[in-house]
Amino acid sequence: MAAILRQHHETVLRGLRAGRIPGVKLGRWLTRREDLDAMLADTQWSRNRQRHSAPTEPTPVRAQASGRRPSF
């Protein structure tokens, strides 16, 4: 479920406990895929998810001219 929502598992557990993510606890947390898809289609959740998600493309790394490691 955390991978589908692209959130840390603790964040997902907090959302389930608070009722922000639909689910039921029967020994472990269960949710239907249709409920997650509906939640992801919701504009409020999508807006928050886009604001907090990681960039989709990695930041390019410039090569060092001398071939040496940079000193920090």
pLDDT (0 to 100) of residue 18: 92
Structure tokens belonging to residue 38: 């509906």
Query: Which domain, by its residues, includes 48?
Result: 2-52
Residue 71 lies in a domain: no
Quick check: is 58 in a domain?
no
Give pLDDT tens digits for 7-64: 899 999 999 999 888 999 999 999 999 988 888 887 566 566 555 555 555 555 555 5
Residue at 60 is within a domain: no
pTM of the model: 0.56
Give the residues across from 24 on adjacent strands.
30
What is the rounded CA–CA span in Å between residue 65 and residue 51? 36
In a domain, 26, yes or no: yes
Report yes or no on 59 lying in a domain.
Answer: no
Instruction: Flag whether 8 is in a domain.
Output: yes
What's the number of domains the chain is made of?
1
Query: 32 in a domain, yes or no?
Result: yes
* Domain membership flag for residue 7: yes
